Amino acid sequence: MFEELKIEDLSFNPFTKLKNDWCLIAAGDKDNYNVMTASWGGFGILWNEEVLTIYVRPSRYTNSFLTNNDYFTISFLDDHKKELAYIGSVSGKDVDKISKVNFNPIFEENGIYFKESKLVFVVEKIHHQPLTNVQKDYKKNYESDDCHIIYIGKIKKILKKV
């Protein structure tokens, strides 16, 4: 069971949460969705709104779901590093990775998250664009010219497992 949490009641370090705990990015609907593991992103304020920013390579299967849907979710799961590593290593185009890790999806009007989640952000996409003008020291991350797409979304709801 989940309860809605006010943004003011959050108590975590966003840098360590993303980097160390990882998250699942999900987009789509009950009939057609995909999910991927991520450890890059950010929390902040843009246009006087609380926002969440994610970075996804265009070659990732999840990218088309993010591009074609108005909402996405970010889910944090405790004690599931092995499953998150698996989800991040295979494509949803080839494998039903959620059933392989025995996660239980929960579908809402504006997002997909998982019963195993501890903390979920339901996010409305407000902007996306390719990452361009990458400085010289960071171009090594893009040898194949597969620069990330930046997705910025307004945090609409935060859910905490109770």
CB distance 114 to 74 below 8 Å: no
Assign a CATH topology to domain 2-161: Pnp Oxidase; Chain A (2.30.110)
**Phi and psi dihedrals of 17, rounded to 5?**
-60, -50
pTM passes above 0.75: yes
Instruction: Render pLDDT for 78-92 as a digit per residue (tens, 0 to 9).
Output: 889 999 999 999 898
Token output for 160? 């905490």
Q: Where along the chain do its domains lie?
A: 2-161
Of the candidates 92, 87, 102, 77, the one whose C-alpha atom is nearest the C-alpha of residue 32 is 92
Instruction: Render pLDDT for 14-31 as a digit per residue (tens, 0 to 9).
Output: 888 888 889 999 999 999
Instruction: Render pLDDT for 118-142 as a digit per residue (tens, 0 to 9).
Output: 999 999 999 999 888 777 777 767 6
